[in-house]
Amino acid sequence: QQQQQQQRQQRQRRGGGGGGGRVVEFRWNRQRVFDEHLANSLFERVQNAPHATVLSTRGQEIKKWPPHPLNTLEMQKRVNRVLRIAPEKIMKVAEELYQKGFISYPRTETDRFPDSFNFLENIALFYNHDTFGPYARELVERDGFRKPPGGHRDDKAHPPIYPAKLATAHEYNGWKRENQQVYDFVLRHFLATCSKPAVGYKTTVEVDCAGEGFKANGLMIADRAYLRIYGPGPIFPPDGPRLNPYFDNWTAQEELPTFEDGERFQPSHRNLRDSETVKPQMLSEVDLLTLMEKNGIGTDATQAQHIDKVVGERGYAKKVGENRLVPTNIGEALVAGYDSLQLGFMWQPTKRAEMEKDVDNVHRGSITKEDAIRKNIEPMLRAFAKCESNEEDLIRIVKRFVERGRNVNVEQRYGGPERERDFFEDEEEDEGAFDDA
């Protein structure tokens, strides 16, 4: 006990808390407050406190699980987010690979394999792959395989997307870059789903200072498992090949030194940071696909086509910066025109979602085809008649937006390129007020 007390006193003199002079950052449990006077008042109390007291230390094993088997929507979202390939282009490439027998049918909502699927036989097809072959062999021969449990979607027509044939070097090198990228993604995703979860050990230390709670976290990754093939690697630690691009990651945090419950230490620094909220980013194609799914618009076979039609064919929106979608002048004019005539349902997602639902109801037999057509066509005809009778008003609104567009382009109005970032980093938002750390 005397030795432990001396060690604690030495740590306090060094000002780093538990851990022999190492700097450990504790973050405020409140995270932020929006009242500057209150923030300053609380900070003054913390600033004047002579010490902080360790309330609890706990450690636990945590796991990061592999992705579910691949369906169409997830393929579009993951490939677009990382590789910046448009969803419609992704589907075109996937169809080409399917037609040549390299991947399974790419239009499916299913994210779980049937019980009859032979995983080990399919993995063995890729033992001779130049880059991923050794990992595939290890899954089977070194007890690395885990049967993927899958999600809860099954369209009863097609299994999840999986690699069906190993491409020879000659075949692979003859492909376009996009074809290589999509094929590699499908293969890596399949191997990842058949892998065990990554394992880490998380340590959390909670302290009290002047009645305010603070927390520090540490994470040590013990086994990267599926992240060796789906993340940045290395495939064979510590020196095996690294992978770029990568589709998932888990970043280790600094391992915390040992603290003891009830221990006291003198904080070396106390900081109050002044920040402000920021406007949300414009939607990306991944965001849009997610919202379309949420609102019941389109299917795995049509969602990418919808986006391509709105952006590419009709020009209601365009891509700017880091794959963000912004409305064009004609797109805004269309919305403003509909709103001016109280026809908001023509541009809002609700009507299209209702129409898609009625198609499903016809299939289930709960509504007749004739009733569904009448229910959805009649409001469209009334809207068309109203637009026709108010043609001059619509032209005036469109003209206003078009003339504005001659002087202000969409990049200036909605913001230009944004910083490149790691989509898989576990970062905390710095938005919003006064952060005490």
Residues assigned a catalytic role: 105
At 434 the three-state DSSP class reads strand
Contact (CB, 8 A) for 285 and 87: yes
DSSP class of residue 309? I
Q: Which two tokens stand for residue 153?
A: 């979607």
Tokens 């609700």 belong to which residue?
A: 350
Q: Count the helix, strand and coil residues of the chain and give each as a percent rounded to the nearest 5.
A: 40, 15, 45
At 327 the three-state DSSP class reads strand
- Count of CB atoms situated within 10 Å of the CB of 343: 18
Q: H or E segment at 265? A: strand 264-265
Strands of the 212-223 sheet, one edge to the other: 27-28, 212-223, 198-209, 52-64, 264-265
Q: Partners of 330 in the beta sheet?
A: none
- Which parts of 317-424 fold into alpha helices (H)? 329-340, 349-364, 369-389, 391-405, 410-414
